[in-house]
């Protein structure tokens, strides 16, 4: 059958509509790349009240129905929006989604169960028959369970294959087992109870998806191996071991248009791999902006991160005196644990312009840090993928990373004998080992200028685009449906007034460019 595979992409957040963490970046960018790789993709997510009004006002109501949830029958409306050539569906229920926040409510289990059930139920009412349902993290994990237990035998569902992507195994959706009957309606189905139950008192939503889905993916090849071990498996390693033949590690990408020093509107002076002169100007501007001594010859190390132990802040805090002793500038941008924030601010105050603590998240400043720093430090305890190191490489800022997860997969450590590499790395979660690697990088920066320039150029040449990732996902989708033969990438052909009308609508839907 010659047609492109049809994919329904289910997520709890997606940029630009709603972005809390890295999942929002993935769900906002990957569908666009999949469209260019012979996939007919549509995305479904909750209609949260904090979605910007410019998008809410353009949504079109396309249907409504009741969702069975345990003993309840809950209203569900479906809104539709065209954005960047993709159809986006929004699941509407004000009781669950008209709130000030997204996560952290007492009834999160019920809210997420509703969304997982609603998106499966919605397939009956959409003018779209997916071949693949691609779910992301524990917020959509129950969809694979519901699909098999409640919807098999219905014609529109029988050909649907399921793909489940683990973005961060730390968050699994573990709930009291009371939800099995009261909310999920699964207590009378022994197979489902067995696959969801974590222990005698609790169930685990993600465990259900890992057990039920046709294909499992995670966000880097190394993380796919790590989660099969007790150290990283978060008590699910035995299932990943059992199902490792269907487990794939696919490295995430970044938005190579937004993160491009040649065109980045946040920078005082743009630059490129052909002309790197603007990077020094960016460094000087950054030093002025964050209160560091203005000296472009001093090595400048950056940390852009949530300030948590998982991100390696213990190691950074431990070595703050060493940064001062070795005359290395450090700028930290991020928010997180209060103790880390206060310690960083205290050191910055007494550092005489050598350490800067920017306890905030500022997108423009983040871009200027990527451009102005010489190195970026990512010493994570674990890191499923990580995007910071890829963004830094795009700007010729060399990453210093711990060899874990996606950090290991995306950074080739410098080899002083061959000159190869595009960053620096260390193996163990150890402050001494981390700082030795920082000193090694600083030595290359100070005394081996040609080698440093080659490393910068190698980093900037790397392909971190979503197209690389999308090709691998497309292979998985088509592997699940070998009867399908790819057509050309989906292009909506429009002429005359219709073309002008649609172009105007899509232009209106996109956010205004930053000035």
The pLDDT tens digits of the residues spanning 196-234 come to 999 989 999 999 999 999 999 999 999 999 999 999 999
Average pLDDT over residues 320-342: 96
pLDDT at 256 over 70: yes
pLDDT at site 488:
65
pLDDT at 371 over 70: yes
Distance CA 116, CA 142 (A): 6
pLDDT at site 506:
44
Average pLDDT over residues 44-64: 96
pLDDT at 505 over 60: no
Average pLDDT over residues 321-343: 96
| Tokens (6 digits) for 239 | 């299932």
Q: Which of helix, strand or coil describes residue 313?
A: helix
- Cβ proximity of 192 and 186 under 8 Å: yes
Average pLDDT over residues 457-464: 97
Average pLDDT over residues 352-368: 95
| Tokens (6 digits) for 170 | 């730390």
Distance CA 391, CA 380 (A): 16
Distance CA 425, CA 445 (A): 15
More confident of the two residues 22 and 415: 415
pLDDT at site 85:
95
How confident is residue 508, by pLDDT bands cut at 50, 70 and 90? very low
| Tokens (6 digits) for 476 | 């998985």
pLDDT, tens digit, 9 for 90 and up, residues 392-413:
999 999 999 999 999 999 999 9
pLDDT, tens digit, 9 for 90 and up, residues 5-29:
999 999 999 999 998 878 888 999 9
Distances (CA, A) of 134 to 144, 160, 481: 9, 10, 14
- Cβ proximity of 333 and 366 under 8 Å: yes
pLDDT, the chain, mean: 93
CB < 8 Å & 24+ apart, contacts of 18-21: 18/45, 18/48, 18/50, 18/51, 18/102, 20/102, 20/103
Distances (CA, A) of 456 to 22, 423, 429: 25, 8, 26
> In the chain, what are the domains?
5-249 (3.40.50.2000), 276-463 (3.40.50.2000)
By the 10 Å C-beta count (0-12 exposed, 13-18 middle, 19+ buried), 334 is classed as buried
pLDDT, tens digit, 9 for 90 and up, residues 151-196:
999 999 999 999 999 998 999 999 999 999 999 999 999 999 999 9
- Write the Ramachandran bin of 352: left for phi over 0, alpha for psi from -120 to 50, otherwise beta: left
User: Would the annotation count 19 as a binding residue?
Assistant: yes
Average pLDDT over residues 418-438: 98
How confident is residue 52, by pLDDT bands cut at 50, 70 and 90? very high
- Cβ proximity of 379 and 401 under 8 Å: yes
pLDDT at 496 over 60: no
């Amino acid at each position: 059958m010659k047609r492109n595979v049809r994919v329904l992409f289910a997520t709890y957040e997606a940029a630009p509509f709603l972005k809390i963490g890295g999942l929002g970046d993935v769900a906002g960018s990957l569908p666009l790349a999949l469209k260019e790789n012979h996939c007919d993709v549509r995305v479904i997510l909750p209609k949260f009240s904090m979605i910007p009004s410019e998008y809410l006002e353009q949504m079109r109501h396309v249907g409504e129905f009741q969702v069975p949830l345990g003993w309840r029958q809950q209203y569900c409306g479906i809104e539709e929006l065209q954005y960047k050539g993709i159809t986006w569906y929004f699941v509407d229920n004000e009781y669950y989604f008209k709130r000030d926040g997204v996560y952290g409510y007492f009834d999160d289990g019920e809210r997420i169960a509703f969304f997982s059930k609603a998106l499966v139920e919605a397939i009956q009412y959409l003018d779209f028959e997916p071949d693949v349902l691609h779910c992301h993290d524990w917020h959509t994990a129950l969809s694979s369970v519901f699909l098999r237990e409640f919807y098999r035998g219905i014609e529109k569902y029988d050909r649907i294959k399921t793909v489940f992507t683990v973005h961060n195994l730390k968050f699994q959706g573990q709930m009291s087992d009371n939800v099995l009957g009261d909310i999920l309606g699964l207590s009378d189905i022994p197979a489902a109870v067995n696959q969801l139950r974590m222990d005698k008192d609790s169930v685990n939503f993600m465990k259900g998806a890992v057990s039920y889905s046709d294909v499992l993916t995670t966000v880097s090849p190394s993380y796919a191996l790590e989660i099969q071990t007790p150290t990283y498996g978060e008590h699910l390693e035995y299932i990943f071991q059992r199902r490792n033949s269907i487990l794939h590690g696919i490295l995430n990408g970044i938005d190579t248009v937004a993160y491009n020093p040649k065109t980045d509107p946040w920078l005082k002076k743009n630059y490129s791999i052909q002309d790197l002169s603007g990077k020094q100007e960016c460094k000087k501007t950054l030093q002025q902006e964050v209160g560091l001594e203005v000296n472009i010859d001093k090595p400048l190390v950056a940390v852009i991160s949530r300030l948590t132990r998982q991100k390696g802040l213990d190691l950074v805090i431990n070595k703050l005196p060493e940064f001062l002793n070795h005359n290395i500038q450090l700028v930290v941008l991020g928010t997180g644990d209060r103790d880390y924030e206060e310690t960083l601010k205290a050191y910055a105050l007494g550092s005489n312009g050598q350490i800067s603590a920017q306890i905030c998240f500022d997108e423009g400043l983040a871009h200027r840090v990527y451009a102005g720093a010489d190195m970026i430090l990512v010493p994570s305890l674990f890191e499923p993928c990580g995007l910071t190191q890829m963004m830094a490489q795009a700007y010729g800022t060399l990453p210093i990373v711990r060899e874990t997860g996606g950090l290991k997969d995306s950074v080739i450590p410098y080899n002083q004998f061959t000159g190869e590499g595009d960053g620096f790395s260390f193996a163990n979660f150890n402050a001494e080992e981390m700082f030795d690697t920082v000193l090694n990088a600083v030595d290359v920066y100070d005394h081996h200028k040609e080698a440093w320039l080659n490393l910068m150029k190698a980093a900037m040449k790397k392909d971190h685009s979503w197209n690389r990732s999308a090709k691998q996902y497309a292979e998985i989708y088509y592997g699940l449906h070998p009867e399908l033969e790819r057509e050309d990438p989906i292009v909506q052909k429009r002429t005359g007034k219709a073309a002008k009308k649609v172009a105007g609508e899509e232009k209106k839907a996109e956010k205004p460019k930053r000035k």
